[in-house]
Amino acid sequence: MATHLIVLAAGAGTRMQSDIPKVLHRIGHAPLFAHALASASDLSPERRVIVAGHGAEAVEAAARDLDPDLAIVRQDRQLGTGHAVAQARGALAGARGDVFVLYGDTPLIAPETLAAMGQARRDGASVVVLGFDAADPGRYGRLVTCGGKLERIVEYQDASDEERRITLCNSGVICADAEQVFDLVEAVGDDNASGEYYLTDIVAIARDRGLETAVVTCPETETMGVNTRAELARAESLFQARARLRALDGGATLTAPETVFFAHDTRLGRDVTVEPHVVFGPGVAVEPGATIRAFSHLEGCRVGAGAVVGPYARLRPGTDLGSGVKIGNFVETKNARIGEAAKVNHLSYVGDADIGASANLGAGTITCNYDGVFKHRTTVGARAFVGSNTMLVAPVELGSDAMTASGSVITSDVPDGALALARARQINKDGMGKRLMDRLRAAKKKETH
Ligand code: UD1
Ligand code: CA
């Protein structure tokens, strides 16, 4: 059966105290609404609709950026969750199967939970609501059940004292029959304490029409919505806890998992080891058997099988490390392909570069890639040996098996197998060191007397 998605993202998010629409705030380096979409990605939804309102232009741009196949509709005035869903009617015209309604500010719903809701639909319910048992039910909508069956949802503002004692609460996530949901929503009115069109009213309307309704429950942590910066931080921490478990389950060793930070798309292969205090920015793939040593920061890069990175390394976007590469302490790389088994072990900057297999860049090697206006490339051939403290002034090319003398400033190409010396010749002056020192010491003695 086909699945479709509506993500509600029109709300103001006033309590974020932000100029950025709430659903564009990030956890794991991805906007909140992208997490809502990701929860449903296992269901392979056919049509996905984002309902934008507050900050709609920014939300539209971010949605287009994430995936040009997303449909975006506008809800110019926020008249309630039912009204928000109604805006998606055109975009889902003729759709069959299941429609899931998710909130763009609720990023932690587990894929298994949505799968269970889909199953409840298959078991005969026209409308399935995701509920949870709230530790503190506060102002959540309450699920009114009778003999285990969902009768209706009552919003806190409209609830009696007795109804407010119910702890089974509405998460906001709904899965309904695509051919019925818009007719149900159309029947919703705004005659209630808030004067809003409540999506939650479709439960009672469905029951009145003789349709079946059902509740699926999940742990409260999944249903957490982000309304404040404090909640954003808490969602980040829950996301990280999950990402760490996923990495461990996938066969990576994390020596101190609680100190490793992941992005939404970090991929670690089997037998990868991650030492303490490592940060993964977006777009990192680490291949099997690689080791990321302590205090390293990686983003937008591939680390080949068996490579060793860090401690204290910084891999920036466009870094591609071949298998067995060694990147040592205080090394920064950017937009650099580093061939199999090459070594950059100490205190280097390698940017806009192609480094050949088994090349060795000595301590303090710098690619001088920027002339203040343009960026230029450096190419180093296979097995080349670059002496310590070499400045490679790009554009420049070192051939395979080439060498540079320590301290060289290399401004022209070096042929295959050649040694380049590009520094002043050394002169030794006999006895002069001692004579100079004696004179200085005598001068100091005079001064202190
Ligand atoms: C809603 C539910 C409540 C549930 C709670 C869970 C209704 C009537 N109530 O309440 O039962 O316990 O969520 O958090 O559905 N939105 C729009 N357009 C609108 C209104 C809302 O896009 O016109 C979006 C918001 O951006 C937000 C989501 O819908 O992502 C929920 O809206 P919110 O106002 O937070 O719902 P609650 O009143 O908290
Ligand atoms: Ca509200």
pLDDT at 368 over 90: yes
At 57 the pLDDT is 97
At 148 the pLDDT is 81
356, amino acid identity: G
Q: Is 155 in the pocket of ligand 1 (CB under 6 A)?
A: yes
User: Which is nearest to 358 in space by CA: 346, 368, 344?
Assistant: 344
**288 in Cβ contact with 270 (< 8 Å):** yes
Query: What mean pLDDT comes out for the span 223-237?
Result: 98
At 333 the pLDDT is 98
At 170 the pLDDT is 98
Counting ligands in written order, which one lies closest to the CA of residue 15?
1
At 147 the pLDDT is 85
pLDDT at 405 over 90: yes
Question: What size, in residues, is the chain?
Answer: 449
At 44 the pLDDT is 98
**308 in Cβ contact with 329 (< 8 Å):** no
User: Which is nearest to 70 in space by CA: 85, 88, 95?
Assistant: 88
Reply yes or no on whether 29 is catalytic.
no
| 3-state secondary structure at position 343 | strand
With a pLDDT cut of 70, the percent of the chain lying above it is: 100
CA 231–ligand 2 middle distance (angstroms):
17
DSSP classification of residue 144: E
Whole-number mean pLDDT of the chain?
97
The confidence band for 1, taking pLDDT boundaries of 50, 70 and 90, is: confident
pLDDT at 288 over 90: yes
For 17-39, the pLDDT digits (tens) are: 999 999 999 999 999 999 999 99
For 143-168, the pLDDT digits (tens) are: 999 988 999 999 999 999 999 999 99
At 448 the pLDDT is 84
What is the model's pTM?
A: 0.94
Ligand 1 pocket check: which of 23, 60, 87, 103 to mutate, most ligand atoms within 8 Å of Cβ? 103
User: Which is nearest to 45 in space by CA: 107, 99, 117, 125?
Assistant: 99
Long-range contacts of 252-257 (CB under 8 A, 24+ apart): none
